[in-house]
Structure 1
Amino acid sequence: MGPGHEVWAAGDAYEAYIGRWSRSVADAFLQWLNVPAGRRWLDVGCGTGALTATALATAEPAQITGVDTSAAFLAHARAHIVDKRATFHLADAQALPFPDQHFDVVVSGLALNFVPDPHRAAAELARVTAPGGLAAAYVWDYAEGMAMLRYFWDAAVTLNPAAAELDEGRRFPLCRPEPLSRLWALAEMDEVTVQAIEVPTVFADFDDYWNPFLGGQGPAPGWVMSLAGERRDALRDLLHARLPRGQDGSIPLTAKAWAVRGVARPRT
């Protein structure tokens, strides 16, 4: 799910932090793809299984294979997805252990920006997709559309400009329409289309927003846990002051992802 310098290990902590919002995006993504039933699927960077589970529930695949580099995430997926159509394997998106043109549909959710070489990964997705099959992916819009993180990093940088080095909006330039479209085109896919997907992310209260940042999963929580107590408290208090509130005390935010799709070409 992520390169070695990231902390992506505990499935439950990831679910509380980002994973719980992944299902809404996965559902909208699959509606956009509108794949007929009975296809063979591959989910690359499947993580804790949000996209795999949603595909099983809504797309009626004949079979679906999930791969990820995190054994802990795969263990979480296996424990929560009990379906004979689904199998999970430890594998790298940059070197998929499958024959050419093996799957009808190859997807990747919220993972490509964490791969060290996204171009190599996109080429692998194209390689294992059958001619005329669909290869598609989506990533969070970290720069502007992921409000929970935009508020976080803006507050963190206000208190300590060094935090800007970890801001996903700066670190992941791939997470925009033009780079995604170019990535698919360079992987020699046809009929390339990019689509925005926006979903509500409503936190019950401030604790529901803040506590997942204490789980250590990902750059932002990692930054929180690196702070001494007083600095961590200052960040918490600034976020508490800046975040919007509903009349019931909830925090109504939104999250946007960018999705890309293309059709695989015949290969010699």
Structure 2
Amino acid sequence: MGQVVWEVGAAYEAYVGRWSRPVAREFVAWLGAGAGRTWLDVGCGPGALTAAALGADPARVTGVDRSPGFLAEARARTDDPRAGFAAGDARALPVAGRRFDVVVSGLCLNFVPEPGRAVAEFARVTAPGGVAAAYVWDYAEGMAMMRHFWDAAVELDPPAARFDEGSRFTVCAPEPLAGLWSGAGFTAVRTRAVEVATVFTGFADFWQPFLGGQGSAPGYVASLTEPRRTALRELLRSRLPAGPDGSIRLTARAWAVRGELR
């Protein structure tokens, strides 16, 4: 299995993007930022959090991402003149210091090779009195669609455990997130869970996103021979909690953190 790729907006949307929008809306409501603020969305991806921030009546929202594909998707989806997008790395943001009232990052921080450097950059660009906040999926316990997938995959192929986000992403829990924020100099640091329903119309609706090749689990599926892929698919089919109508009701939990800059 090669390097995990995040580039194609449509594949991301089918996999986890559709669940990211309600999380983004609840996260923005939790921040409670007043109208007329300047926002920076770090690792904006296809623009789910940017769209939620625009609903908070900001003066301006700037989205930054390393992926040309995601930036193109975000621009295509966003026709609000208050939004703009730029290429950049979370560890070296292409913006001036002390510029933004609200700095946010959604479902991105665990993919940054040095998250401490990224959070230090959040502190650098946050204006005095501003807030910086982020959220990440709870891969270890709270992202049920992935937990079901990796539990089945590892049962059939124990070495697959090395690709499981639940063990690879150590920042995806309240304590390490709070530690990153405190270490960067933020005060009044708080964390909370954000949980949303993830309802699939049937097994095909659950399984199809894993065939998109984008992300750790879809990348793993793409690496399998057809017999091994079939075995994994059928084991999952036998275990998922389907209702009388065939629908599969799961939950997705993210951990959020916020802090203030004095």
TM range (shorter): over 0.9
Using the TM superposition, give the Cα deviation of residue 98 of structure 1 relative to its aligned residue in structure 2, in angstroms. 1.1
Q: Does 1:151 align with 2:143?
A: no
Once the 2 structures are TM-superposed, how far is the Cα of residue 246 of structure 1 from its aligned partner?
1.6
Moved over 6 A (4+): none
Q: Give the corresponding residue for 1:116.
A: 113
Aligned to 1:256, what secondary structure does the other structure show? Answer: strand
**Residue equivalent to 1:46:** 44
> Could you tell me which residue of structure 2 aligns to residue 33 of structure 1?
31
TM-score by length of 1: 0.96
Q: What is the alpha-carbon distance in structure 1 between the residues aligned to residue 59 and residue 87 of structure 2?
A: 21
Secondary structure at 2:120's aligned position in 1?
helix
1 CA distance for matches of 2:34 and 2:147? 37
Aligned twin of 1:167: 164
Deviation of 1:81 (Å): 0.9
Q: What is the TM-score normalised by the length of structure 2?
A: 0.98
The separation in 2 between residues aligned to 1:160 and 1:108, in whole angstroms, is 34
Distance in structure 2 (CA, Å) of the matches to 1:133 and 1:247 = 49
Deviation at 1:5, TM superposition (A): 2.9
Matched residue of 2:26: which SS? helix
How far off is 1:7 after superposition? 1.1
RMSD: 0.9
1:20 matched residue in structure 2: 18
Show the counterpart of 1:86.
83
**Corresponding residue for residue 97 of structure 1:** 94
2:77 corresponds to 1:76:
no
Query: In the aligned structure 2, how far is the partner of 1:34 from the partner of 1:5?
Result: 37
Instruction: Describe how 1:59-70 pairs up with structure 2 within 5 A.
Output: 59-70=56-67
In the alignment, the residues of structure 2 paired with residue 126 and residue 204 of structure 1 have an alpha-carbon distance, to the nearest angstrom, of 42
Structure 1, unmatched stretches of 5+, are: none
Gaps in structure 2 of 5+ consecutive residues: none
Inter-partner Cα distance in structure 1 for 2:205 and 2:160:
23
Partner of 1:264: 261
Alpha-carbon shift at residue 97 of structure 1 (Å): 1.1
Distance 1:98 1:204 in 2: 43
